[in-house]
A and B are shown apart, each in its own frame.
Chain A
């Protein structure tokens, strides 16, 4: 680890100024569960660490049946699943929030940080995508909004330009007869990085017999978490059946373009994408029916 400066701005504007300094290679610290490890292991170098935890907007957490859910970019996982109303309304998001690291890590780790770290295997990203999440970004030119599925551009890379940082995440209120689910495959039962992760959200007809719409996203099978819109579209208007769900699973599998590494071969990951997509859509349907 190399020496760096540390700053704690208390406003979005101050943070933008610090992050915009052309003479400094600055980076943003929220929970630090990725950043501090990367700095310690010399996988990343920085001149300035900007700790955004003292900025009010980054700590916002609100849930409203009309406008939906807002999560400040630095809000740790435990606050999210610790809020009974949020946990009940967004179980698909909770699946992932409860998976990140372990209990201790979840006291620090944030959904915003997980998104900005832009790992292809980031557990919270597929569920954020399928829930229609939107990222609010602040920067020298003001604020802008980007859909979560468009946020990551490559492993460790995002749409954030110089001077920009993530302020918060927004999710629409859940539709009636909807359900969402996230599940990953790991060789053990804890302490691991997804070999494949799949998120799905579905909206069912009033009699729960057919799909109105669906969104499916897959992690760890492409350079970024992958929104497979075709897989969800294939379900829209179709009956809820093993056949239709398997068809969506096959589309997700065909969309996957994984690499082989120490966590699994490309072939195995494609196979798992199909298996998990089927199981996850079934899980989302079950929740929509409950």
Chain B
């Protein structure tokens, strides 16, 4: 028995998909083999910004073994049209042009043509035989440069929208918005300490190990099937239907196992090209990206510029805060600056706030979601300023956070009022943890050491459409079909919620992620929604099964259904103790009382419930001579609402921390003057390896989410939010020098220490 009277929730069963994954039997996109399969490759732009004058595919088409070549001219030309693709409003023309460039290329790596051939080598040779004539244009890759008057313009027809109104100004600024609460000027006048600082962050990639892939078959009836690695099969179906302008009923998406997504596997890249090539050839076509294609041709998360100002009184109360946030959207509008603005001051209760956000196009790949998109950039700024204010006030930075922490009833600057949240509880747990209470020697081995803390917030998408379909086997086990692709152990956490509801073991449920023809519409696995949203549907499914089993028992026992109770996994007739049975016992007889037992449930819970908060503590060691930062100890504290499977909650926390550490210390897209990324490989795009990390310690706080039957909060995203700020604060504690530019790589740290005499 776990806590809170739960039998399954809170335990740590072996995951249902574990054996196939550790034995290499799980089927990923690259494993797909079909009769007559052709292999595709993409021709990509060598220029960051250029007009396409002509594309001559004749030499490629004449190359032996080549079966078809496609360009943007094979795609339906879509007018400037907005479509709701589930989580975001997307301009379909942009989405189409990002798949295959039309008229202009907007970043190095922008796809311009696709080839299908009898094998991959021939396809790659043919790519070199496609002759594209470009007229190179001036390019801009930095957000502040792109905002300047006179900057090279990516979209000549794009006018800036400001405060909700379209202006006449053509610029790279797609949108400027503002959130305002109270009177910041008055708040700063009240403050005894005011700190204002500027920050920059660089473009970083999700870095999933499995590269993008898609295998398409467009059959003779015009039915399109795509096998792919995606966070949302139904979202892929929507995108295919819109980009290819075909009926949704003609598209079926088969989601395969996914080797990492982190937000980057929602938009389609290869899928429409593979589909067009299959249509042209009549064969299935398989496409798989190389690592450099993933870096240069898919959606990273943006570089950004932030200016944050915060003020507090001598008794330690925050009185005002303002933020200027400029985020790179990449080639097309749609950076996560809006999400960043919703998170930037949210761990705090501040009466006077103003936030200005700018969404800016630059000649880089179109950015995409990455684990709490926009929030890490924001927290890097806020949490560093909060650290500085705490220092100036002479108070413990965590005690300062507790004193100013957001709680039920606190209003966010972007509008919503917090329901029950675990912000203060999480910070207090960090304040009281053994790590934070332990002492740290400030020097060792000729190096200096320091400790830093930071907090973070992520909304969590507490809603969305989910469907579950179950069939009960005569032995009482359950086959459970779901539409949520499993990127973080959600098969297990959803199956456990169903098992808990109907009194079975987790292993009695067999979860399957199925294709779009086999289950109701399910929103993407993203926004930390799946264990919440599809788990919500699993609970509802359990309730439906209990009702159905009562009906069956009613027939079997010949008693009224409303006189049957269900408790502790046992169905029983109120007036006769002999008439009782467990779910499994009833399942063995239920088929005789109305046929096989099945249930289908879909849900779309409303979006309240509050988000996730995290506070992290890190100890670092800095080699002052080389600028290298080593992490000695790391503790992540987080409110999970209710941890369904604590091991996977811990795994999400640890994974998020590691990605945040990479973002903070070494990861960045390094561009040369020609606008070309110079480190498009895992060799020089430096994600942390196991040798760069200590064991990440975790503390799960549980403040149940009131809008979920088991109190679940999303856990996957918020752990990436605090690390860069926590590291910056720890480096300051060690060296006396504050770093405000990411990544805090050895050359940057060494230079900062040399310049500041730290």
Contacts and interface: CB of A to CB of B under 8 A. Distances in A.
Given A188-B688, A190-B689, A262 B124 contact: no
B686 A188 contact: yes
Interface residues of A, number: 21
A188 B689 contact: yes
A276 to B, nearest CB: 8
Nearest to B687: A188
B678 A262 contact: yes
Nearest to B689: A190
A33 to B, nearest CB: 13
B678 A261 contact: yes
Interface in B684-710: 684, 686, 688-689, 691-692
Contact of A262 (B625, B628, B670, B692): B670
A247 interface: no
A63 interface: no
A58 to B, nearest CB: 28
Contact of B692 (A1, A188, A265, A272): A188
B750 A193 contact: no
A8 B630 CA distance: 46
B223 interface: no
B666 interface: yes
A265 B748 CA distance: 10
Contacts of A264: 747
A265 B666 contact: no
A236 interface: no
A188 B662 CA distance: 10
B314 interface: no
Contacts of A160: none
**Which of A189, A190, A193 has the most C-beta atoms of chain B within 10 angstroms of its own C-beta?**
A189
A189 B689 contact: yes
Given A2-B125, A262-B684, A275-B625, A187 B666 contact: yes
B404 interface: no
B691 A188 contact: yes
* Overall SS of chain A's interface: loop
A195 B627 CA distance: 13
B202 interface: no
**Which of A3, A268, A275 has the most C-beta atoms of chain B within 10 angstroms of its own C-beta?**
A268
A13 interface: no
B638 interface: no
A212 B692 CA distance: 39
Given A262-B670, A265-B747, A192 B692 contact: no
A93 B432 CA distance: 49
Nearest to B666: A187
A187 B689 contact: no
Nearest to B628: A187
Nearest to B290: A41
A208 interface: no
A79 interface: no
Interface string B711-751: 00000000000000000000000000000000001110011
A191 interface: yes
A271 interface: yes
A185 interface: yes
A265 B625 CA distance: 15
A272 B683 CA distance: 20
B751 A189 contact: no
B295 to A, nearest CB: 12
Contact of B683 (A2, A3, A192, A195): A192
Contacts of B679: 262
Interface string B154-192: 000000000000000000000000000000000000000
Given A261-B678, A262-B678, A262-B684, A187 B691 contact: no
A221 to B, nearest CB: 14
B118 to A, nearest CB: 14
A263 interface: yes
Contacts of A263: 684
B751 A268 contact: yes
A104 B537 CA distance: 46
A131 to B, nearest CB: 25
Interface string B622-664: 0001101010000000000000000000000000000000000
Nearest to B748: A268
B626 A275 contact: yes
A1 B121 contact: yes
**Which of A3, A190, A262 has the most C-beta atoms of chain B within 10 angstroms of its own C-beta?**
A262
Given A2-B125, A268-B751, A272-B626, A191 B689 contact: yes
Given A187-B628, A190-B691, A268-B747, 19 more contacts: A2-B121, A185-B628, A187-B665, A187-B666, A187-B686, A188-B666, A188-B686, A188-B689, A189-B691, A190-B692, A191-B682, A191-B689, A262-B684, A263-B684, A264-B747, A265-B747, A268-B751, A275-B625, A275-B626
25 contacts: A1-B124, A2-B125, A3-B121, A185-B626, A185-B628, A187-B665, A187-B666, A187-B746, A188-B686, A188-B691, A188-B692, A189-B689, A189-B691, A190-B689, A190-B692, A192-B683, A193-B683, A193-B684, A262-B678, A263-B684, A268-B750, A268-B751, A271-B750, A275-B625, A275-B626
List the 4 closest A-B pairs by CB distance, nearest first: A189-B691, A262-B670, A268-B747, A262-B678
